[in-house]
Chain A
Amino acid sequence: MSRTSQAAVIRRKRGDYRQKWAFLFCLPNMLFFLVFFVAPAIVGIWYSLTNYNGLKRMDFIGLENYIELFKDPEFYKILLNTAKFVLVYVPLGYVAALGMAMILVSDTMKGSTILRILIYWPTLLSTIMVGLTWKWIFGENFGLINYLLESAGLPRIGWSSNAVAAFLTTVIAGVWAGCGTNMLIFIGALKQIPEELKDAAKIDGANAWEIFKAITIPHLRPVTFMVVMLSAITGFKEFAMVQTLTNGGPGTATTYMIQYIYTTGFTKLRVGYASAASMVLFVILLVLSFLQSKAMDSGDEQ
C-alpha cells in the first residue's frame, strides 16, 4: 500500500470516528424528530385526505379537501393578511429587539438588570393574557388610548372597526410580546463580541456607527439568521393572541392562517379539512425557510 493511500485510510477512519460522535450528539433529537414530528405529520397527511370529523367518521376522499381549500377565495385573502402581518412584524420586531439589546448590554449601566427584567416581563404572559392586556389599551369603547384621546378632546380611533388600525394593534402586541426573547438572544450574542476588536477600531478612529456596521452586524450574522427565521415562523403561526385581541376582525381583516384553520376546521369538526389547510401552510413555510437559508448560505460564501 502506498503512503498516500494509507494516509487516506487513516483520514477516513478518523472521519468515521468523528462522524460517529456527530451522530451520537444528534441521536436524541433524531429520535424525537421521528416520534413527535414525523409520526404525527404522517397521520396529519392521512387525515387531510379524509373527511374525518375527529370522532368516528373517517372516509377517504382523496384530494377533495385540498380542492375545496384552493377554491375558497377567503383562503387567499387570509394568506395575504398573514403575509402582510409577517412582513411588518418581523423587521419591526428585529429592530426593537436589537435596539433594546444594544442599550442594555453594558454591565456598567446601573439599573440595566431592572430594565432587562422589565423588557422581558411581557414574554411571561400567556398569549391569551397578552391579548387581554392590550384590549384594555386598545379597546374602542373601553380602552385607555381612546379614553385619553377623548379626555384631550380628540376623536377616538376605531381600533377594532378600522382595518388598518386593527392590523396595527396586532403588530404592536405581537412585537411587544416577542421582543424580550429576541433581546435576550441578542444580548447573549453581543457579549460574545471581543472588546479588543471594538477598542482597536476606536483607536483607528471609527465612530459608533462604523463600529456597528463593520463589527457588530457581521458578528450577529448567525443570530440574525435565527431570529429572523424564527420570528417569521412565529408570525405565520400567530393565533391565540390575535384571536383574543381582535377576534380576527373587523370582518376578516386580521384573521391569520391558524385562526382560519381553526375556525373553518376544528370548531366545525372538519378535522380533515383543517389538516389539509395545515399541510398547505407547512409547505409554504418550508419553501420560505429553504429560500432564506439558501440566501444565507450564498451570503456566507461571499
Chain B
Amino acid sequence: MRKTKKLMALTCAALMASALLAGCSSDSGSAETTAAAAGGDTAAAAEEEAAPSGETVELELLISDDTLEGGAMAAMVEKFNEEFKDQGIQVKMNEIAYADMQTQIQNRAAVNELPALVKLSNFRNYIDYVLPLDGSSLTQDDFSRDGSYDGKLYATMVNDTAVGLIINKTAFDNAGVSYPTTEEERWTWDEFIAALNEVVEKNDNINTGLVIDHSQQRIQTILYQFGMQYFDPADETRLAFRSDKTKQGIDFILDMYKEGGVSKASVGTGTENAQDVFKTGTVAAHLAGNWVMNDYTENITDFEWCPVLMPKGENIATCLGGNYLYAMNGTGVEEESIKFLEWFYQPENYTEYCSIGNYLPGMKGINPEYTVEGLDIFNMEINASIDQPNYDSTITNKHTGENWDNVVRDAFDRAIGGELDSDGVMDYVINEQLKILSDVHE
C-alpha cells in the first residue's frame, strides 16, 4: 500500500519536473547530464563565436560509418584538435548510424540546430543549408567528382568509391581459368559469363557464378557498359534512358537471374547480401564496391580472393560514388569550419586519412599507401571509364529537393521478381524520373 503511494508521489514529482522542464529550455539540468553539459552544444558554440577570442569554438562533425571503416576520421580529428588546441578550435565527432543521417539532418535543419560539418554520400538534398566554399582555398578543380552547384563548390569529395570485380582466386586457379589484370586482357561480357560457368563447373564447392550487390551503382555500371545514358549528352533536359542499348543491358542482367543463370535471384533482390554470400566461399565472383576489400582482408581466411578488371561491353565504365564532406550554413561557426576543411585537405593530412581508411582519394594528385592490396585495380577502372556517369551525376546534382537514387534498383527488384520485363523497367524508371525531376522531358 505504502509503496503504491510512494510511487504515486514519485510520479507526480516526475511529471511536475518534466512540466517545469518543458517550460524552461531543452537543457534538462538534471544530474545525469553533467557530462552532456560539459560537452556543450552547437547553439552554445554559436554564441561563443561572437564572444571575444580566447574561448574555444567547438565544431560538431556529424558522421556515420567511421568506426566501421577503421576510424580514419577520428584519427584526423584527434590530430586537428592537438594542432588547434591553442587556436581555440576543437572538433567533436558525433557518430550516428548511416540510416539515421537523413532524419537527423532534416530534423535539425527544421529547427536551425545543424552541425558545423557533415560527412555524407549526398549533399544536393540539403543544398539550401550547405555553406558554399567560394571563400576558401578549395576549388572544384581539386576534386575528382562534382561537388558544386550553380558554379560554386559546396561539397568536397572526401573519398571515392568505385565499382569493380572481385574473384575467388582459389576457385579460378583451381579451374585453370585465367583472369585479366591489364587493360588488354579485359573480358567481354560473354567471355566473362563463359569463364564463370567454367569455374562453377570445375569446382564442387562453387554453386554461384556471380553475385552483384543490391545497389543502383552496381547495376548502373553494367548498363553503362552496354551503352545506357540517363541524360542526352547534347541536351541536359532530355531523358535518354529509353534506348535499344539500355534494353539490351537490362535483358542481359535479367538473364543472369533467371533459372540456370550465373547469379541468384535471392541476391539480386537484396534479400541475401552479396558480400555475406561471397564470404561463404561458394561464389566465383562479386561485382562490388572497393570498400569490401577491408572486410574481406579481415574476415576471409578460407580461400584466396583478388580484385580483377571488369568485363567491357560497348564501353568501359565504372560508377563513382562516395562521401562528401561539407560545412553547414548558419551555424555561426562557418569560418572555423572552413579552417578545418582547409587543414583536412592539406596533402599531408589528406594522404594520411586515405591511408588509414584505405580510401580512394577524392582529391586529385594524392597517392596514399594502402594496407590492403589490390586497390590500384579500382584506380585503373576509374581512369579507363567513360565520362557519361560523371555527366549524368553532374546533371542530377542540379535537381535538388527530391531523390531518385534508388529508382533503377527498385525497378530491377520488380523485374527480378517477375513483375516487370525490360520495357517495364524502362517505363518505370522514366516515369519516376518525370515524377521526381523538374524540367525534364523524354
Query: Do the two chains touch directly in the complex (Cβ atoms below 8 Å apart)?
Result: yes
| CB-defined contacts of A28 to chain B, threshold 8 Å | 15
Give min CB distance, B376 to chain A, whole Å: 31
Interchain CB contact under 8 A, B417 and A252? yes
Is B106 part of the binding interface, using a Cβ–Cβ cutoff of 8 Å?
yes
| CB-defined contacts of A127 to chain B, threshold 8 Å | none
Q: How large is the interface on B (under 10, 10 to 19, 20 to 34, 35 or more residues)?
A: 35 or more
Interchain CB contact under 8 A, A249 and B264? no
Interchain CB contact under 8 A, A160 and B271? yes
A142-B272, A159-B266 in contact; A251/B401 too (CB < 8 A)? Answer: no
Give min CB distance, B114 to chain A, whole Å: 11
14 contacting pairs across A/B (C-beta < 8 A): A53-B401, A55-B110, A55-B126, A139-B272, A141-B272, A141-B277, A245-B271, A247-B214, A249-B271, A250-B269, A250-B416, A252-B413, A266-B102, A268-B402
Known: A55-B129, A252-B419, A269-B401. 8 other contacts (CB 8 A): A55-B125, A160-B272, A161-B266, A247-B271, A249-B269, A249-B416, A252-B417, A268-B436
Interchain CB contact under 8 A, B272 and A56? no
Interchain CB contact under 8 A, B264 and A141? yes
Give min CB distance, B156 to chain A, whole Å: 21
**CB interface residues, B 117-154, toward A, < 8 Å:** 125-126, 128-129
From B128, B277, B406, B415, give the contact of A267 (CB < 8 A): B406
In the bound complex, how far is the Cα of B403 from the Cα of A7, in angstroms? 70
From A140, A163, A269, give the contact of B271 (CB < 8 A): A140
Q: How large is the interface on A (under 10, 10 to 19, 20 to 34, 35 or more residues)?
A: 20 to 34
**CB interface residues, A 54-97, toward B, < 8 Å:** 54-57
In the bound complex, how far is the Cα of B417 from the Cα of A248, in angstroms? 10
Give min CB distance, B206 to chain A, whole Å: 12
Give min CB distance, A250 to chain B, whole Å: 4
Is A158 part of the binding interface, using a Cβ–Cβ cutoff of 8 Å?
yes
A140-B271, A269-B402 in contact; A253/B417 too (CB < 8 A)? Answer: yes
In the bound complex, how far is the Cα of B106 from the Cα of A139, in angstroms? 35
| CB-defined contacts of B416 to chain A, threshold 8 Å | 249-251
Give min CB distance, B257 to chain A, whole Å: 9
Is B112 part of the binding interface, using a Cβ–Cβ cutoff of 8 Å?
no
In the bound complex, how far is the Cα of B406 from the Cα of A249, in angstroms? 15
Q: Which residue of B lies closest to A150 (CB)?
A: B207
Interchain CB contact under 8 A, B272 and A269? no
Is A182 part of the binding interface, using a Cβ–Cβ cutoff of 8 Å?
no
Give min CB distance, B267 to chain A, whole Å: 7
